Amino acid sequence: MKYIAPELSINLLEQEIERNVSAALTEDVGEGDLTAQLVPDNVIATATVISREKAILCGTQWFTRCFAKIDADTEIIWKATDGDIIHPGQTLCEIKGKARSLLTSERAGLNFLQMLSGVASKAWRYTEAVAGTGAKIVDTRKTLPGLRLAQKYAVACGGGCNHRIGLYDAILIKENHILAAGSIAAAMSAAKQVAGAVNRCKFIEIEVETLQELEEALAAGAQMILLDNMTLDQMHEAVAITKGCAVLEASGNVSLETVRSIAETGVDRISVGGLTKNVRAVDLSMRLQE
């Protein structure tokens, strides 16, 4: 695996691949594939996976594990790797094994490969859109349930960056936290105490909606600030006010049409929930050879 953020260790991803694939096969195969039994058990088949569109490939390990768990003797030879740009008509891999096994593994394997390639491709399009500005594209916690680490890996494959993994590894103080705490200053003070009491908090970030709140956050010692739904003019001013003393992250109403202009305000990061929330599967096809 080429694209591993520090928090996405190889061991952690290996455990996640096993968990994801086991769950996928349990829900799909259950007590056994009835349709595959139409094919004699001793028939050996070969197949290829073909791309139907330009995209970023991602999910090869999940795909391979699906076939290996159904039949360890299945052979897969990859012609491309995670993070590669793939093109229409390109052969991505060749597969050989029992026909029954290939037919049973096909859908679960393609589900992972198509979905994760979709996430990686979307991250790639966003990173290409802001190239040269210095701004980083960042994912969020708006992920498909049970597939967070897989999707964050896909974002990294597409050139994006991972935000916090979950509620357990960093603090992001949002509007409701501020309201519950009483003020920005009170929320920041409490956050520092919580972070100091544990050894797993990577950062403290606070969300602001106005330039006045930005000033309050800076006065409270904030070093990472999320600018929520600000206008381009407000973001320009926020960059000028901050003068590099805090990392600024833009969020809200980000699209491929708007992301370049947001990046050009000088913000450091742009978070895009749609990278992992609104996923369009890449068009891939597996075909058995005659």
Q: Give the helix ranges, DSSP H, for the chain.
A: 10-29, 60-70, 99-129, 148-157, 175-181, 184-197, 211-219, 232-242, 259-263, 274-277
Determine whether 207 is an active site residue: yes
> Does the active-site annotation cover 54?
no
Q: Facing residues of 93 across strands?
A: 49, 78
**What is the pLDDT at residue 290?**
72
Q: Which of 69, 107, 141, 260 is catalytic?
A: 107
Asked about 269 being catalytic, the answer comes back as no
Clarify whether 142 is annotated catalytic. Answer: yes
Position 144 scores a pLDDT of 96
Q: Catalytic site residue 79? A: no
Determine which one of 41, 54, 174, 175 is catalytic: 174
**Chain centre to alpha carbon of residue 95:** 27
Q: Which residues of the chain have pLDDT under 70?
A: 1-8
β-bridge mates for residue 86, sequence order = 55
Q: Return the pLDDT at 10.
A: 78
pLDDT of residue 6: 53
* pLDDT for res 159: 96
| Domains delineated in the chain | 10-126+279-288 (3.90.1170.20), 128-277 (3.20.20.70)
Of the candidates 33, 82, 106, 207, the residue annotated as catalytic is: 207
